[in-house]
Structure formats: structure tokens, C-alpha cells
Amino acid sequence: MDIDRVPGLRREEVAMLAGLSVDYYAKIEKGNLAGVSESVLEAIVRALQLDDAEREHLFDLSRAANRSALLVPRRKPKPWTARPGLQLALDAITAGPAFVRNGRMDVLAVNALGRAFYDWVFDGPGRSNLARFNFLDERSREFYPGWEAAADVCVAILRTEAGRDPRDKRLHDLIGELSTNSDEFRTRWGAHNVRRHGSGTKKFHHHAVGDLTLTYEGLELTAEPGLSFLIYTADPGSPTEERLRLLASLAATIQNPEATKHPASSIEEQL
């Protein structure tokens, strides 16, 4: 995987700023990271002015290149199911959509309002996967008013996961599927951008209740590395808060009690 330079900086300039020979840096830039020390990586981080997510991605790539375990075949992943306590935590959140996803953008567990919020994701051909919904379901362009930005973030999260776990066959299969079927994905994948899903504000358009402006928080599950717990909330007294209440009311009339427990029951997750 190539390492992108800061716009305007030539390879020679980056090498000089990092205190490396041009030839050595050129090898690193092309993804030859085996044997590269942490001090050299930190020098490159400073020279390229990488942010925290980009720095972490670079170190993930280095660890992957140096990990002898890469040569050891993986055991078959076990089916993933939400721990009772985790599902209870999701169900306790009633004011906003909440869900757990992995780095492949599979939605693994969700609360009732989250299922109603993402109903198009669950009833579409994407098998409860946000990346498939984003790039293979035309309805995503209605759901995400800022579709271009949403697509950029989606690909950057997948790119980050590819660095964290380069042996994930299901991730490779997903990337191949999206690259084959979506020019938009293929173009973005080649940009090599990475991102961690932290916090911020997003706009959505839900077909049942209209426009929604939601604040989100993404939390890493320390008990289950690689999984994220995401919560969307609305400002108190805002039109979005009223629309979420309406969505919750609509969902309650049709909710299958078992549906929130296994939104992606066919998904296997290596823990």
C-alpha cells in the first residue's frame, strides 16, 4: 500500500525532512515496511504531517509487514453474537439509534430505534452492511443528503480496517465486490485515505419521518477489539428529536422483538 505525500512535497523533500535517504524512503513509500523501526516511522509521521488516524494506519501496516504470524493459516472464525450485557446496553438507549459494527461496516447488533432508522440497510441486498448499502443501493443517495462525504468516510473506515487486519478474507471479498460493482468505490479506494469514526454531526433523510440532524459518538469496545459502539442523538427540543420520537412510535407498531438481537445473524466475526 502506497504512502501518500503531503501535497506539494516531492519525495526528496520528504526524505530530507525525515532524515532518510531518498532510495530508502522510496521503498517505504511503496509499502516495503518490513524491518522499519518505530523511530523511522515517527520521523515519517512528522515529515508527512499525518493525523492520529493516519499515524495509526502507518503503524498497522508496519506491524502487518513484520508479523511472522501472517504466514500461519487462520482458524475458521466463529459466529458472532452479542453478549447479553451488550444487547441490554443497546436496548437501554431509547432516545436515539444505537448499534455495534465491525471494521467491515457490518451492523452486528442494534437497538429498536436503530433498526427503524436503518430499515433500508436491513431490508436491502447488502446483508446488513453499511458499505454495501452506501455503494450498491441507490436509496443511499436519498438517505445520505451529503452522499459524497458519507461515501468518503465509508471507504476511509474500510481502508483503516485493511491496515489493522490485512488477513481478513471477508474484508478482501467485500472490497473486491464493491470494486467490481461500483466505480465510485473503486475511485475512492485508490485514494488511500484512512479514518477513525469518533464524533461529530451528520445529516440524514429518512423516508418515513424526513430530515434528521444527529450528533454521533463512536466508542471502541475494549472487551471486543475491532468493534465499535455508535450512538446517534438529537438536540433536545429540536425538530429532529420530535421526528425520532415519531420514528420510534412507528417502529413500535411493527417491531419484531427478536429482530434487534440478530440484525446480521449470518455474519461471522473473528474475536
Q: Write out pLDDT tens, residues 47-67.
A: 777 777 677 767 777 776 666
Strand partners, 219: 229
Average pLDDT, rounded, for the chain: 83
Q: Write out pLDDT tens, residues 19-56.
A: 778 777 777 777 677 777 777 778 887 877 777 767 77
Calpha distance 135→145 (Å, rounded):
14
Residue 69 reports pLDDT greater than 70:
no
Residue 183 reports pLDDT greater than 90:
yes
Residue 260 reports pLDDT greater than 70:
no
- Domains, the chain, ranges and CATH? 11-71 (no CATH), 84-254 (3.30.450.180)
pLDDT at 114: 97
Percent of the chain scored above 70 by pLDDT? 82
Residue-level length of the chain = 271
In terms of Cβ atoms closer than 10 Å to its own Cβ (0-12, 13-18, 19+), residue 133 is buried
Tell me which of 49-63, 68-82, 133-147, 162-176 is least confident.
Answer: 68-82
**H helix or E strand, kind and range, residue 50:** none
Please say whether the beta carbons of 90 and 110 come within 8 A.
yes
Please say whether the beta carbons of 213 and 233 come within 8 A.
no
Q: What is the reported pTM? A: 0.71
Residue 141 reports pLDDT greater than 80:
yes
Q: What band does 196 get if pLDDT is binned at 50, 70 and 90?
A: low
| DSSP-assigned letters across all residues of 142-154 | HH-TTHHHHHHHH
Residue 228 reports pLDDT greater than 80:
yes
For range 199-210, the mean pLDDT = 96
For range 123-148, the mean pLDDT = 93
Residue 259 reports pLDDT greater than 50:
no
For range 94-121, the mean pLDDT = 96
